[in-house]
Structure 1
Amino acid sequence: MRRRVSGSECYVAFGDSMIIDYYAGGPGWGAASLLYKNLDDVYPDWKGRDLATLYPGIRFHDLTSDGATTDTVLSWQLPKAPTVENQPTIIILTVGGNDILHQYGVPEKKGITLSYEMKGRLLKIISYLQDSVRFPKPARIYIGNIYDPSDGMGNLEKEGYSRWPDGLKVLDHWNKRIEEVAREKGLTLVDVHRHFLGHGVNYDDPSGKHYDPEDNTSWLWQVIEPNSRGAHEIRKLFWEKIYEDSLK
């Protein structure tokens, strides 16, 4: 299904290293870029399954940045957003992972408090996107949650990280806040967390409850950033949601 759009309609990506190009392989390789335009020679099975094909004429504005937090999106990315007049806009956002990294090691109780502070900033981001004249309704906003690089095992010590006893619990609270924002603001939640289990730093540990014997591969470049496979998997998740909406 194709729908030609006017020259003023655009697709905008906000967020962090989950969807940037750099760690996935360079320009065009990140999840946000692949969602816009598939690399046909690399992913021939995905030829035509991109926004440039689904919405001929749509423009791509990539405002993602390495290390971005909710503060970064608020203070740096949003002010650089393009003005889009009277046209629906597709927006994707992945943020929160670096916020939690900055609080690495905190106990669960403190993590809960911090998760609500993160939620407050995230609500400001979404309110701007939904209420600003830059993005007139009906903007379609898709937000990804945060994957667990430990594959549910809560152990990143082999990668040089100190043990964080409450890490999985804190991450769960962070993802609950993102889910709450999605529900409260009418966004589409993209469940990156569930999809990535079994493909983090413990991907090759058969004792892990999420071990995938049919695809025991890592989707991470290092501990945090997705590699090319990870970027491809993230774009698949966003594409499925966006394409589903295009059929409505």
Structure 2
Amino acid sequence: MLTVFTFGDSVLDCGHYNRYGVSPGELLVRNRDDLFPDFRGQDLSALGGARLDHRAQDGGTVDSLPRQLRGVKSHGEAVALVSVGGNDLLRGLLVDKGPGREEFRRELSAFLTALPIRPVLIANVYDPSMGDDRHNFTGVPVELARENHRRLNDVIAALAEEHGVLVDLHGHFLGGEPSWFTSTIEPSLRGASEVRRCFWRELVKRLPAPKPADPFSEPRG
């Protein structure tokens, strides 16, 4: 059975921000048809089943990834989902002039190199203001904040090309709406589903083809 690992921050660990306790990894494994009927049949349970090993933590930064990786060994059939960088921006990289971004690149590269799971789907960092400068909540001049956000996403894109697959949360969430967020920057219930949507688009392309049914097997009764 496929194991889905999650690493990183609240983008993947956002269940406590909605009253149903729903997170993107859970929705990938089994959709909540009562909440998201448009995703009925679009989950791993419909494609043979999967289990979730949830390691992402609200507030996670790049230097917390090695701790989340502890105890993970090589698996035959597994996929890793990674979302990191948003908290690093808020904790200093929005005003960084280069050294901090290079340290982020080094630490994320080391984590991805040590990660014994492939494929790995790596999300870039979305913009909770959805591109609207009037909603700059950071306290950092908007031109500087946006430039450093772009540069960090460039780092993530380059590492995703080297180690795995880029999941473009940034592009998708620019076309979103305020209901996708709660507590200013966290994914809401709808936001959790939209994060799932982005990962699903890339994940479903990389799943092994289902095995054909054995025509001589006895039907289940």
Query: How high is the TM-score relative to the length of structure 1?
Result: 0.77
User: For residues 113 and 74 of structure 2, what CA distance do their matches in structure 1 show?
Assistant: 16
Whole-Å separation in 2 of the counterparts to 1:72 and 1:59: 23
State how far apart, in whole Å, the 1-side matches of 2:94 and 2:166 are.
Answer: 27
Alignment map for 1:1-248 (pairs within 5 Å): 5=1, 9-20=2-13, 21-27=15-21, 29-56=22-49, 58-74=50-66, 76-81=67-72, 83-85=73-75, 87-103=76-92, 106=95, 110=97, 112-130=98-116, 135=117, 139-157=118-136, 159=137, 161-165=138-142, 166-185=144-163, 187-199=164-176, 216-246=177-207
Shift of 1:218: 3.0
Q: Any idea what SS the aligned residue of 1:91 has?
A: strand
Contact 1:63 1:77 in 2 (8 A): yes
C-alpha distance after superposition, 1:16-64 (max 9, x if no partner): 101111114343x1112111111111112212211222232x2210001
Structure 2 gaps of 5+ residues are: 210-221
Task: Determine the C-alpha separation between the residues in 1 that align with 2:4 and 2:94.
Answer: 36
Q: Residue 156 of structure 1 contacts residue 163 of structure 1 at CA under 8 Å; is this kept in 2?
A: no
Tell me how far apart the structure 1 counterparts of residues 29 and 124 of structure 2 sit (CA, whole Å).
Answer: 20
CA distance in 2: counterparts of 1:184 and 1:221, whole angstroms: 33
Q: Distance in 1 between matches of 2:99 and 2:133?
A: 21
Does the aligned pair in 1 maintain the 2:94–2:148 contact within 8 Å? Answer: no
Q: Give, as a single letter, the amino acid of the residue that structure 2 aligns with 1:175.
A: N
Q: Shift in Å at residue 217 of structure 1?
A: 4.3
Give the superposition deviation at 1:80. 4.1
Q: 1:197 to 1:173 in 2, by over 3 A?
A: same
SS in 2 for 1:124: helix
- Considering fraction of residues, name the structure with more helix: 2
Letter in 2 for 1:16: D
CA separation in 1, counterparts of 2:24 and 2:129? Answer: 21
What is the CA-CA distance between 1:180 and the residue it aligns to? 0.6
The sequence identity of aligned pairs, in percent, is: 31
Unpaired segments ≥5 residues, structure 1: 200-215
Tell me if the contact between 2:93 and 2:100 (Cα under 8 Å) persists in the aligned partners. no
Closer, same or farther: CA 156–114 of 1 in aligned 2, 3 Å: farther
Residue identity opposite 1:72 in structure 2: S
For 1:213, the equivalent position in structure 2 comes to: none
Alpha-carbon distance in structure 2 between the residues aligned to 1:116 and 1:105: 13
What do residues 220-239 of structure 1 show as CA deviations (whole Å, max 9, x unaligned)? 11221111111111101111
Matched residue SS, 1:232: helix
How many residues align? The count is 207
Deviation at 1:154, TM superposition (A): 3.8
Give the conservation status (yes or no) of the 8 Å contact 1:155–1:163. no
- Distance between the aligned counterparts of 1:79 and 1:162, measured in 2? 35
